[in-house]
Amino acid sequence: MTLAATTLAAGAAPLALDVQLKIGQPFVVGLLQGSVYGLIGLGLVLLYKSNRIFNFAQAEFGTVAGISAYLGLNGKLFHIPWHMPYAVACIIGVAIGTLTAVLTERLVVRPLFDRPKVILVVGTVGVLLLLIALESLVFPEGKSLPAFNNPKQGVFRSLTDPAARLGFAHYNLQWEQILTLVTLVVLALATVAFFRYSRNGTAILAVSQEPVAAQTVGISVSRISLITWTLAGFLGSVAGILVLAGSAVVSPGVVTGTTLVGGITAAVLGGVTSLPGAFVGGLLVGLLQAYAGTFLTQFPGSESVAVGVVLLLVLLVRPQGLLGREA
């Protein structure tokens, strides 16, 4: 009796741990990846609301930011290497990524403003390809951006991971992940609040709904367009740096390759015009991918397939998106 109980307990313990790991780890990983999708989706929805187009260059602003940050951290000018402080390099990266979006607005979007939307969309694809080409020119491939708490270069050097791990369902969260998650959620909430409560946020909605009427009340459509692209560029740049810091190898087109499809799916799940919807959509996509990758290991590519199936289901059953209202 006692023996049986012990055996059972001994047999059950590792199983329980394994199940918890299988639930806990994908949860964290999925949430993290998902909030990046959410942030990219947020930028897409933002521009969709104001220009009624999908901006295919959205995630690439993030690559530009990541490469700029890397070059700030470990760059060379006339063969003299420099090392900016980590935080400074990141700020410069975000600034350059945002500037790229501003230039896109001025040089591509503005001149094509009154043309059919399809042409504008193709314009953003052109920007994406051009950016990838430029990145290839200035950036030697295969380098990676150090983590925030990298002991040599990070901005939070003292947060050494092994000693300072936080447990969650037997999965050890790293500081890197916590910081990323907090930043992403704060940014998402700030964006939603901007639309709900700020004057410019309301003006963006007004321009997207009735551009002519927006002019008749005295809103400058071109100023609003610039504000929108600045904001979208900022969101894309931050998302890019968060994706690249401490994990992926920085290479031309990398953020587009890893997040654009997820971001578009997030936006569509959210109904294309809903900001909270896009963020929640992003979380769902991330979680779905992570759990599919954990539990459906016998089917290669199950992560993408699961996302595709859910995307189709939502389009068929709830085309207005999960939250289903413009906000």
What are the residues binding another protein (CB under 8 A)? 199, 202-203, 205-206, 209-210, 212-220, 326
Using the minimum distance from each CB to another protein, give the nearer residue, 41 or 201: 201
> Which of 167, 145, 168, 148 shows the shortest CA–CA distance to 158?
148
Minimum distance between the CB of residue 219 and another protein, rounded to whole angstroms? 6
Pair 260, 243: CB distance under 8 Å: no
Minimum distance between the CB of residue 127 and another protein, rounded to whole angstroms? 27
Q: Which helix (H) or strand (E) holds 102?
A: helix 86-104
Minimum distance between the CB of residue 64 and another protein, rounded to whole angstroms? 32
Using the minimum distance from each CB to another protein, give the nearer residue, 10 or 212: 212
Minimum distance between the CB of residue 221 and another protein, rounded to whole angstroms? 9
Q: CA distances (Å), 323 to each of 66, 267, 279, in order? A: 32, 11, 11
Pair 177, 22: CB distance under 8 Å: no
Using the minimum distance from each CB to another protein, give the nearer residue, 8 or 213: 213
* Tokens standing for residue 216: 């008749």
Using the minimum distance from each CB to another protein, give the nearer residue, 133 or 213: 213
**How far is it, in rounded angstroms, from Cα 325 to Cα 275?**
10
Minimum distance between the CB of residue 226 and another protein, rounded to whole angstroms? 14
Using the minimum distance from each CB to another protein, give the nearer residue, 75 or 211: 211
Using the minimum distance from each CB to another protein, give the nearer residue, 118 or 217: 217
Question: 242 φ, ψ to 5°?
Answer: -65, -35
Pair 278, 267: CB distance under 8 Å: yes
Minimum distance between the CB of residue 11 and another protein, rounded to whole angstroms? 58
191-216: b (≥16 Cβ within 10 Å) or e: bbebbeeeeebebbbbbbeebeebee
**How far is it, in rounded angstroms, from Cα 81 to Cα 233?**
28
Pair 73, 83: CB distance under 8 Å: yes
Give, to the nearest 10 degrees, the angle between helix 117-138 and helix 86-104: 140
Using the minimum distance from each CB to another protein, give the nearer residue, 178 or 226: 226
Minimum distance between the CB of residue 156 and another protein, rounded to whole angstroms? 41
